[in-house]
Amino acid sequence: MPVKGWIEVNDLYCKGCELCITACPVDVIQLDYSRLTPKGYHPAMLKSDGCTGCGICAVICPDAAITVYREPKKAKVPTA
Ligand code: SF4
Ligand code: SF4
């Protein structure tokens, strides 16, 4: 089962450059055309489930606007 992850985008830093969108291997990021950041850009956002928490978007973002979260793996419970 893939790791469940999610991202948060800091509106103060995102400039809508779309680098994270092209870098995401599972294509779950898009620009949010319903909002503008304080600087006047459409910010990146998660568009669907499926983020694996791989962190590539955070690494590629030139403005360090993305924080990646990963659900911790659940410990296996012995069945016997
Ligand atoms: S790479 Fe960073 S600055 Fe560019 S759209 Fe994504 S979050 Fe915003
Ligand atoms: S952490 Fe990985 S899978 Fe999740 S949005 Fe960023 S690049 Fe895509």
Instruction: Give the tens place of pLDDT for each residue, 15-37.
Output: 999 999 999 999 999 999 999 99
Tens-place pLDDT, residues 38-78: 999 999 999 999 999 999 999 999 999 999 999 987 777 77
Choose the residue to mutate in 6, 29, 59 for probing ligand 2, maximizing ligand atoms within 8 Å of C-beta.
29
Task: Assign domain 5-70 to a CATH class.
Answer: alpha beta
- Most informative mutation of 54, 59, 61, 67 for ligand 2 (most atoms within 8 A of CB): 54
In three-state secondary structure terms, 6 is: strand
* pTM score of the predicted model: 0.89
Q: Is 68 in contact with 57 (CB distance < 8 Å)? A: yes
* Domain range summary for the chain, segments of one domain joined by +: 5-70
